[in-house]
């Protein structure tokens, strides 16, 4: 193949979340023999991911979130040209909105987008996806992270089916074990009793994640389990609002907002089960990690989540926004320790078979090489359709 391919990952999010973990998995795992890796992201995220970034990955902080940021757009173009980028891989549509057309203008040979989530928040003209289809002319392939996301891209966004490839998201599940115990003193530092049931919610404090729904469900749960506690792990714009809601519901003594935490395994080990009350997702990491830790999950049945949380086997799913159904599912698990253990065991086996980071990295690497070879040999005999690399 000659020189390693220059691959640039681009993200313009403002907080570290599942998308950033996906990027880090790829940047840590992709072959250095085949790829030279760069990451362009906002200064806010660069500060958060830098400690976990391999030293040979070039990190370039850049804020490009508005069309008026012409200097930033020119800077991104300069970065692409100077590094002779062969593959430009944007994460989330709002990143691709800026990076993909710039990449096309800079004649980047392969331009990819991983959408990650179904954008349920869209209203008005944004819900018609006309801009997505226009920007899509600059995108060679979309890497859907689950079957649900692939269907969304084709059936709702109206993107060409032959541009959509499914490669299931994965995670470093070796970090998690049912035998892991939380650090000494963690429970006590939170003011929790040794026998208090604990729920864990890991996710950015943003409307998408549905924290308010769980807080609304909490008084119902407390009727049967008055000592139940909740820990919300993650940062975001809604922290003050959620703290006010918690206080207004009389939950201040039972709910803790722990902020961003690096060692997720410690916090999962603290809990009896994990809750993910999101309004939309892609293929979320948290249920994978929770099940790898042997903790069952109660989640909303949105997008790719039911591909991980299988009702009655690895946890329970409920309709998004339904606080009563959420409370009922949580109480079902809290009152039955044997059921929690059984679902935890089944869940761990399920995710280790289907959602490892090794599988994600291998399939992404194969896809990169396949589309590059297809481009390089366009005038010769065709090779296998690159869509066959993914999970069809």
Separation between Cα atoms, residue 73 and residue 87, nearest integer Å: 18
Q: What integer pLDDT is reported at residue 111 of this predicted model?
A: 98
DSSP character string of 120-141: TT--GGGGG-HHHHHHGGG-SE
Residue ranges of domains in the chain: 5-170+356-389, 175-354
- What is the C-alpha separation between 119 and 111, in angstroms, rounded? 21
381 pLDDT exceeds 80?
A: no
pLDDT at 380 over 70: no
Amino acid 386: pLDDT:
57
pLDDT of residue 392: 46
- Percent of the chain with pLDDT strictly greater than 70: 95
Residue 383 is predicted with a pLDDT of 44
Q: What is the pLDDT of residue 390?
A: 63
Phi and psi at residue 186, to the nearest 5°: -65, -50
> At 7, is the secondary structure helix, strand, or coil?
strand
**Taking 90 as the threshold, does the pLDDT of residue 152 lie above it?**
yes
pLDDT tens, position by position, 178-192: 999 999 999 999 999
**What is the rounded average pLDDT of the residues 231-250?**
96
For the segment 147-165, the average pLDDT, to the nearest whole number, is 95
Is 5-170+356-389 in CATH node 3.40.50.2000? yes
pLDDT at 269 over 50: yes
Q: What is the mean pLDDT of the chain?
A: 94
Q: pLDDT tens for residues 286-299? A: 999 999 999 999 99
Q: What is the pLDDT of residue 391?
A: 63
Residue 376 binned pLDDT confidence (cut-offs 50, 70, 90): confident
DSSP 230: E
Give the span between the Cα atoms of 214 and 91, in whole angstroms.
28
Query: Does 39 score more than 60 pLDDT?
Result: yes
In the DSSP assignment, the letter for residue 304 is T
Does 175-354 carry CATH code 1.10.3720.10? no
Average pLDDT over residues 268-296: 95
Q: How far apart are CA 159 and CA 164, in angstroms?
A: 8
Asked if the domains 5-170+356-389 and 175-354 are classified in one and the same CATH topology, the answer is: yes
For residue 300, which phi and psi values (nearest 5 degrees)? -85, 145
Q: Quick one: what percent of the chain has pLDDT higher than 90? A: 87
**How far from 120 is each of 103, 110, 117, 383, CA to CA, in Å?**
27, 28, 9, 37
User: Which residues neighbour 33 within 8 Å (Cβ) at sequence distance 6 or greater?
Assistant: 4
Closest CA to 300 of 278, 315, 285, 282: 278
- Each residue of 64-117: pLDDT tens digit? 999 999 999 999 999 999 999 999 999 999 999 999 999 999 999 999 999 988
Whole-number pLDDT of residue 125: 81
pLDDT band, very low/low/confident/very high, at 375 (cuts 50, 70, 90):
confident
- Confidence band of 385 (pLDDT split at 50, 70, 90): low
Model confidence at 126, in pLDDT bands (50, 70, 90)?
confident
Given a cut of 80, whether residue 382 has pLDDT beyond it is no
Given this model, what pLDDT does residue 17 score? 82
Query: pLDDT digits over 318-367, tens only?
Result: 999 999 999 999 999 999 999 999 999 999 999 999 999 999 999 999 99
Q: Can you give the pLDDT at residue 373?
A: 92
């Amino acid at each position: 193949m000659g020189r390693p391919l220059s691959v640039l990952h681009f993200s313009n999010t403002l907080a570290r979340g599942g998308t950033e973990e996906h990027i880090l998995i790829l940047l840590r795992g992709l072959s250095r023999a085949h790829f030279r890796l760069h990451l362009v992201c906002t200064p806010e995220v660069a500060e958060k991911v830098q400690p976990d970034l391999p030293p040979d990955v070039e990190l370039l902080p850049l804020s490009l979130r508005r069309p008026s940021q012409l200097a930033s757009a020119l800077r991104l173009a300069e970065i692409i040209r100077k590094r002779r980028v062969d593959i430009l891989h944007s994460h989330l549509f709002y990143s691709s909105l800026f990076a993909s057309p710039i990449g096309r203008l800079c004649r980047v040979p392969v331009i990819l987008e991983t959408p990650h989530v179904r954008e349920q928040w869209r209203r008005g003209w944004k819900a018609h996806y006309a801009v997505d289809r226009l920007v899509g002319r600059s995108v060679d392939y979309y890497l859907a992270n689950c079957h649900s996301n692939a269907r969304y891209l084709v059936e709702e966004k109206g993107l060409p089916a032959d541009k959509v490839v499914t490669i299931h998201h994965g995670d470093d599940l070796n970090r998690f074990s049912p035998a892991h115990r939380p650090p000494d003193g963690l429970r006590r530092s939170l003011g929790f009793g040794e026998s208090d049931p604990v729920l864990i919610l890991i996710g950015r404090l943003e409307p998408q994640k549905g924290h308010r729904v769980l807080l609304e469900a909490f008084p119902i749960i407390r009727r049967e389990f008055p000592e139940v506690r909740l820990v919300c792990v993650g940062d975001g714009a809604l922290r003050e609002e959620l703290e006010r809601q918690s206080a207004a519901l009389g939950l201040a003594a039972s709910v803790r907002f722990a902020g961003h935490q690096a060692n997720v395994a410690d916090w999962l080990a603290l809990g009896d089960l994990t809750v993910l009350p999101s309004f939309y997702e892609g293929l979320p990491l948290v249920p994978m990690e929770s099940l790898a830790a042997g903790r069952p999950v109660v989640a909303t049945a949105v997008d790719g989540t039911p591909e991980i949380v299988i009702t009655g086997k690895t946890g329970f799913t409920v309709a998004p926004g339904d606080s009563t159904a959420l409370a009922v599912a949580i109480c079902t698990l809290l009152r039955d320790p044997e059921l929690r253990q059984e679902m935890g065991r089944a869940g761990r086996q399920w995710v280790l078979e289907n959602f490892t980071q090794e599988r994600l990295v291998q399939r992404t690497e194969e896809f990169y090489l396949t589309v590059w070879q297809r481009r390089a040999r366009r005038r010769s005999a065709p090779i296998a359709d690159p869509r066959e690399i993914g999970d069809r």
